[in-house]
Amino acid sequence: MYSASFEYHRAASVDEAVKLLAQYGDGAKLIAGGHSLLPVMKLRFALPAHLIDIRRVPELAGIREENGALYIGAATTHAAVAASSLIHARVPMLAEAAGRIGDAQVRNMGTIGGSLAHADPAADLPAVMLALGTMLRAVNRRGARTIPIDEFFTGMFTSAIAPEEVLVEVRVPFPPPQTGAAYAKYADPASGYAVVGVAAMVTLGAGRTVERARVAMTGLAPFAARLTGVEEALTGTMATAEQIEAAAQRATEALDAGADGDAGYKANLATVYARRALTRAVERAK
Ligand SMILES: Cc1cc2nc3c(=O)[nH]c(=O)nc-3n(C[C@H](O)[C@H](O)[C@H](O)COP(=O)(O)OP(=O)(O)OC[C@H]3O[C@@H](n4cnc5c(N)ncnc54)[C@H](O)[C@@H]3O)c2cc1C
């Protein structure tokens, strides 16, 4: 099916994109890679009268390191994230997860900002960003604001980005020493989307006990969220195989009890992928 017709605008700057959003109001939508928005438009679930293309805005491009953090422009493609030597060196989990999104075409078009703003419940990057403790910078006509990732995903396909805002940059703090992180995903064989994906970041402290754990899951709930029960259960332990297994069991607390489908199968997926992510993260922290 074809989308309804629309007027196309190419923004040259974030400022221009923000002005166009304000000018066209509810009838306007940003487009970056188009790999989530265009399918929705073709199904006529979205009928924007104005599309504002931000893919070539220079302020939204690039990956840099500054003051103990990585800064990734919102229009950076998944392929660029997966190929970045800086990201591989500093936060390898992010490069690995980006490299497993969809197929080569999806990775060449889809962007980090588009993925986060779209907040698809089966997308990979939301869980990874939650585990990494990132901060997101958004700009609107009144100025800029920073949104902690823990406050970003608010519902199915719903994020804290307001309709008149542009997500500009993702700030990923460098993990502290003795930290390991891993993303374990069971991909839908057709699309590559996560049936389940668990991202874990584990920091070891004195005596090699777990000082801090951030763990998040995508795929099995209306939106990606931290697995706080898993984090609590692992923190303070030596992260032995038994302790990891006990912590992983608590991933089921995040499942939507009223959802359709096989509850036992989902509980098993959540536990198995939490265990895999935790085990790999702990190995990498040692
Ligand atoms: C066949 C297929 C397979 C896929 N497989 C996977 C997968 O395995 N894992 C996965 O995670 N994803 C997958 N995706 C989704 C893909 O990663 C999308 O590209 C991504 O989710 C959206 O990025 P985009 O740049 O294409 O966004 P767009 O489609 O351009 O935009 C999506 C939404 O975000 C808004 N938006 C975009 N950029 C910004 C911004 N900077 N500020 C504010 N709002 C913004 C748009 O207005 C729109 O509402 C798949 C997609 C397809 C088509």
pLDDT of 260 over the 70 cut:
no
36 lines ligand 1 (CB under 6 A): yes
Count of all residues that appear for the chain in the document: 286
Residue bearing the bigger pLDDT, 260 or 276: 276
Predicted local distance difference test score (pLDDT) of residue 2 = 87
Is residue 113 within 8 A of residue 167, CB to CB? The reply is yes
Average pLDDT of the chain?
A: 96
Residue nearest atom 21 in ligand 1 by C-alpha distance: 115
- pLDDT tens, 70-124? 999 999 999 999 999 999 999 999 999 999 999 999 999 999 999 999 999 999 9
Q: Where are the alpha helices (DSSP H) in 166-285?
A: 228-234, 241-249, 263-285
**Helix or strand or coil: residue 234?**
helix
**Helix or strand or coil: residue 145?**
strand
Q: Ligand 1, from 6, 13, 50, 101: best to mutate by most atoms within 8 Å of Cβ?
A: 101
Mean per-residue pLDDT for 128-150?
A: 97
The pairing of beta strand 7-10 with beta strand 50-53: parallel
Burial 68-88 (b: 16+ CB within 10 A, else e): ebbbbbbbbbbbbbbebeebe
DSSP 8-state secondary structure symbol assigned to residue 111? B
Q: What pTM was estimated for this model as a whole?
A: 0.97
Residue nearest atom 28 in ligand 1 by C-alpha distance: 34
Please say whether the dihedral angle defined by the alpha carbons of residues 225, 227, 229 and 232, taken in this order, is positive or negative. negative
Predicted local distance difference test score (pLDDT) of residue 8 = 97
Is residue 282 within 8 A of residue 187, CB to CB? The reply is no
The CB-side HSE value for 6 (13 A sphere, CA atoms) comes to 24
33 lines ligand 1 (CB under 6 A): yes
Mean per-residue pLDDT for 55-79?
A: 97
Predicted local distance difference test score (pLDDT) of residue 53 = 98
- pLDDT tens, 85-100? 999 999 999 999 999 9
